[in-house]
Amino acid sequence: MREVVVVGAGLAGVRAGESLRAQGFAGRLTVVSDERELPYDRPPLTKQLLSGTMTEADVRLAGAEDLGARWVRGTAAVGLDRERRRVRLADGAELPYDGVVLAPGAKARAWSGAVPRAGVLTVRGLDDVRRLRAEVDGGAREVVIVGAGFVGVELASSLSGLGVRVTLVEPFGRPLRALGGTVSGVVAEAAGRAGVVLRLGTGVRGFRDDGGRVVAVELVDGSVLPTPLVVVAIGMVPATDWLAESGLALPSGRIHCDERLFARSGGGSGAPDPRVVVAGDAACCDAVRAADGPVALEHWSNAAAQGELAARNLLAGPAAAEPYDHVPSFWTTAFGLRIKSVGLPGTGDRTVAEAGDPAGGAVLEAHYRDGRLVGAVSVEQGRLLSAYARRLRGERMIASGTEPSGT
Amino acid sequence: MKITVDHGLCDGLGQCALVAPEVFALDDEERLVVAPEAARGSAGKVAAAARACPVRAISVEGS
Ligand SMILES: Cc1cc2nc3c(=O)[nH]c(=O)nc-3n(C[C@H](O)[C@H](O)[C@H](O)COP(=O)(O)OP(=O)(O)OC[C@H]3O[C@@H](n4cnc5c(N)ncnc54)[C@H](O)[C@@H]3O)c2cc1C
Ligand code: SF4
């Protein structure tokens, strides 16, 4: 393999590049990014960077500059021609490849209806946080955040810490609901204590503006929240539009890959392409599955681990490639709480609080499906999680019929 | 092998403990404790734990 192209210079893409070099790949490596920025890490954006305890220099992804790569910055990949083995770029250039790593990640999901020209933001990248910070520094003392997933909750925490009055609107009734009921309750309570106004169980009908600038949010229940600033935090969409003609399988917009991270072809054949590997938020991998099929992960540790393995497997080829066997793990911090999970907590049918004291803001909740452990979530009980991770690894080995190796 | 943890950087996220629990663990305050003597013979796992740290608080020298 002499030419490798990596599309996307987020965590997954940069780790893939590092891993290629660590395996001794000495050929030409080209990294394509539609952002002009040097690679950076996303978790601190909504936490330390917005809060002001980290600078932009602190959030850069270390190691990117040492890849010995040719960088294409500020230019998107717009097509993948697998027959001719070329990545097509927005400026018309074509990059030939022997192998390609697809790591385009995701974009913030936009509001589906009409939105005022000014004052309504989404947050995914560094530029978004700069814009948000500029609004706050420019005098916005109030914000309505739509969506209480982890990004919405982190924003609520950081902005309230900056003295901004925050209203958090969540139509599905609970913050961080993917993590289970008890955890949700602990987070809601901490948010309330921090002065965040929670509007749970009611959705947004639309926005009012004055001369193009937002002035209020209208809720489905008829109430109107006056505000000079809105952040829409309703999840993400994989950045895979550009692959529509590639012939790859794209269920729900995710790039479907086999257990070894080779992209599967669409059109029913599902055959993995030995020259195309996938990693990160854009991937949906057969090795990460719940009872009813593969689950897409949108977590840091998954992007890091997949980037690393995808590159190794690309060089090794399908016959020698290793399956992806990472136990999912996620962390977030908000309102002074350290929240962490292992496994796939969202996929259980029963949750059991197994340690901690929810009233005191600490809980370890285990998630089971058909009596088998599928995940665990901790608030301030992080020391217990590695035992659950070990159990999850054991469950999986039993399910796949391999013997636990004793580690 | 010499394992150094920059406790100024370490957030107690515990990602390292998920990868190499015999070497890295969190205590009751979710502070990281390291058992370097347990690392002997598992250089690969320790390196993987260092890569799993989101803030790169772990550095490893030698093997
Ligand atoms: C604000 C925020 C906070 C987070 N906090 C946490 C956390 O606390 N804990 C946790 O576990 N996870 C967290 N995450 C999730 C974690 O950051 C992601 O899982 C991770 O960034 C995914 O990495 P990736 O490389 O797959 O995608 P990305 O980071 O999205 O990188 C993909 C890159 O590819 C570029 N790209 C896209 N399409 C193209 C194209 N066609 N051509 C060229 N380039 C393209 C994108 O612009 C981007 O730069 C957070 C995410 C966000 C947004
Ligand atoms: S992963 Fe890093 S930040 Fe987390 S406990 Fe380990 S050393 Fe500390």
Residue nearest to ligand 1 atom 37, measured at CA: A104
A52-74: pLDDT as tens digits: 999 999 999 988 889 999 999 99
Give residue B55's pLDDT band: very low, low, confident or very high (50, 70, 90).
confident
In a domain, A193, yes or no: yes
Predicted local distance difference test score (pLDDT) of residue A271: 96
Question: How far does the centroid of ligand 1 lie from the alpha carbon of residue A77, in Å?
Answer: 16
Same domain, A119 and A206: yes
Q: Which of A257, A282, A316 is the last residue of a domain?
A: A316
- Ligand number nearest to the C-alpha of A300: 1
Using CA atoms, how far residue A302 sits from A56, A105, A260, A326, in Å, is 24, 12, 14, 8
Q: What is the CATH number of the domain that holds A151?
A: 3.50.50.60
Predicted local distance difference test score (pLDDT) of residue A343: 95
Predicted local distance difference test score (pLDDT) of residue B56: 86
Predicted local distance difference test score (pLDDT) of residue A406: 41
Evaluate whether A377 touches A364 at the Cβ level (below 8 Å). Answer: yes
Same domain, A145 and A213: yes
Q: What is the CATH number of the domain that holds B51?
A: 3.30.70.20
Predicted local distance difference test score (pLDDT) of residue A404: 46
Same domain, A207 and A128: yes
Helix (H, G, I), strand (E, B) or coil at A20: helix
* Domain that residue B27 falls in: 2-61
* Domain that residue A343 falls in: 336-400
In a domain, A121, yes or no: yes
Same domain, A342 and A249: no
Predicted local distance difference test score (pLDDT) of residue A402: 58
Closest Cα in chain B, distance from residue A407 (Å): 9
Same domain, A168 and A62: no
Q: Bridge partners of A363?
A: A356, A379
In a domain, A46, yes or no: yes
Predicted local distance difference test score (pLDDT) of residue B1: 83
In chain A, the number of structural domains is 3
Parallel, antiparallel, or unpaired: how do β-strands A70-73 and A28-33 relate? parallel
Question: How far does the centroid of ligand 1 lie from the alpha carbon of residue A103, in Å?
Answer: 9
For residues B6-24, give the mean pLDDT.
87
In a domain, A93, yes or no: yes
Evaluate whether A150 touches A346 at the Cβ level (below 8 Å). Answer: no
Option in B14, B21, B54 nearest A390 (CB):
B21
Same domain, A79 and A166: no
For residues A152-168, give the mean pLDDT.
98
Same domain, A13 and A54: yes
- Based on C-alpha coordinates, what's the Rg of chain B? 10
The residue ranking higher by pLDDT, B63 or A260, is A260
- Interface A-B, measured as beta-carbon pairs within 8 A, has a size of 53
Predicted local distance difference test score (pLDDT) of residue A202: 94
pLDDT at A392 over 90: yes
A101-159: pLDDT as tens digits: 999 999 999 999 999 999 999 999 999 999 999 999 999 999 999 999 999 999 999 99
Same domain, A127 and A209: yes
In a domain, A163, yes or no: yes
In a domain, A89, yes or no: yes
Q: Model pTM greater than 0.90?
A: yes
In a domain, A326, yes or no: no
Predicted local distance difference test score (pLDDT) of residue B41: 81
A310-362: pLDDT as tens digits: 999 999 999 999 999 999 999 999 999 999 999 999 899 999 999 998 888 89
Helices B43-52, A300-316: crossing angle, 10 deg rounding: 130
List residues in chain B touching A: CB distance below 8 A: 11-15, 17-18, 21, 25-28, 30, 51-52, 54, 56
Residue nearest to ligand 1 atom 15, measured at CA: A299
In chain B, the number of structural domains is 1
Same domain, A87 and A139: no
C-alpha closest to that of A32 among A51, A49, A10: A10
Same domain, A305 and A348: no
The overall average pLDDT reported for chain A is: 94
> Which residues have any ligand 1 atom within 6 Å of their CB?
A 7-13, 32-35, 42-43, 45-46, 76-77, 103-106, 123-124, 151, 239, 242, 280-282, 298-301, 303, 330-332
pLDDT at B14 over 90: no
Give residue B8's pLDDT band: very low, low, confident or very high (50, 70, 90).
confident
In a domain, A328, yes or no: no
Same domain, A175 and A249: no
Instruction: Return the percentage of chain A with pLDDT > 90, whole number.
Output: 89
Same domain, A272 and A243: yes
Search chain A and give the residue with CA nearest B12: A382
